[in-house]
């Protein structure tokens, strides 16, 4: 991703190219005090236009020293982002929930949401559990994400597993929306990304 730093736009985030364990990676941290959950907080690749295809990236998250108690190491991707950052789809993980004993939190290891309306809070308040699930993940370890997007369907895979951790049959913005790709981060997380690969199918 070294050559793409000039085309990355920080949207409510701070973005820098840095070195982690001897590797060049992109560091993304939420900057503005947006206190709503699931906001447009990402590093956006301005030269990407994506509709259908496969997004692959490796990501690692740590908790910041000032992270609030409810921070979970939120890290993931946004895709089909429109021009003014008011509409997109997203998938992210909560690494602190991955191997916890609490069965409720454990089932909230991964999350799909659709900005602006369909946040995790919206789903949870209505008792809708279709858009989250468990995953064997943790903080401070590289997590491989593969998102397979086709029309209104999204399939999300972690760490090269053959079975998806989450399948969303009807993404909320429908089948036709297209837009940019972003590296998503939320409150309390120091996020690192590397090895981005985008395979466009149309």
Give Cα separations from 109 to 10, 105, 116 (angstroms).
Answer: 26, 7, 21
Give the separation between CA 64 and CA 22, rounded to whole angstroms. 21
At residue 201, the pLDDT reads 93
- Sign of the torsion angle spanned by Cα atoms 124, 126, 127, 129: negative
pLDDT (tens place) for every residue of the chain, 202 residues total: 444 445 999 999 999 999 999 999 999 999 976 677 899 999 999 988 999 999 999 999 999 999 999 999 999 999 999 999 999 999 999 999 999 999 999 999 999 999 999 999 999 999 999 999 999 999 999 999 999 999 999 999 999 999 999 999 999 999 999 999 999 999 999 999 999 999 999 9
Give the separation between CA 71 and CA 61, rounded to whole angstroms. 11
At residue 34, the pLDDT reads 67
- φ/ψ of 175, rounded to 5, equals -90, -20
Give the separation between CA 202 and CA 200, rounded to whole angstroms. 6
**Does 2.60.120.560 match the CATH number of domain 2-16+25-200?**
yes
* pTM of the model as a whole: 0.94
């Amino acid at each position: 991703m070294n050559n793409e730093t000039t085309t990355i736009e920080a949207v409510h985030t701070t973005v820098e190219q840095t070195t982690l364990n001897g590797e060049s990676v992109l560091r993304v941290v939420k900057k503005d005090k947006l206190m709503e959950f699931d906001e447009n907080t990402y590093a956006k690749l301005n030269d990407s236009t994506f509709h259908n295809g496969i997004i692959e990236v490796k990501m690692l998250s740590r908790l910041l020293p000032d992270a609030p108690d409810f921070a979970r190491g939120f890290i993931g991707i946004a895709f089909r982002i429109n021009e003014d950052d008011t509409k997109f789809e997203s998938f992210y993980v909560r690494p602190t929930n991955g191997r916890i004993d609490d069965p409720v939190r454990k089932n909230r290891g991964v999350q799909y949401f659709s900005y602006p309306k369909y946040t995790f809070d919206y789903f949870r308040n209505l008792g809708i559990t279709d858009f989250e699930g468990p995953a064997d993940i943790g903080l401070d370890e590289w997590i491989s994400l593969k998102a397979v997007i086709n029309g209104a369907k999204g399939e999300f895979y972690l760490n090269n597993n053959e079975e998806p951790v989450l399948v969303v049959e009807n993404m909320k913005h429908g089948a036709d929306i297209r837009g940019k790709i972003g590296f998503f981060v939320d409150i309390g997380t120091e996020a690192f990304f590397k090895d981005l690969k985008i395979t466009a199918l149309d």
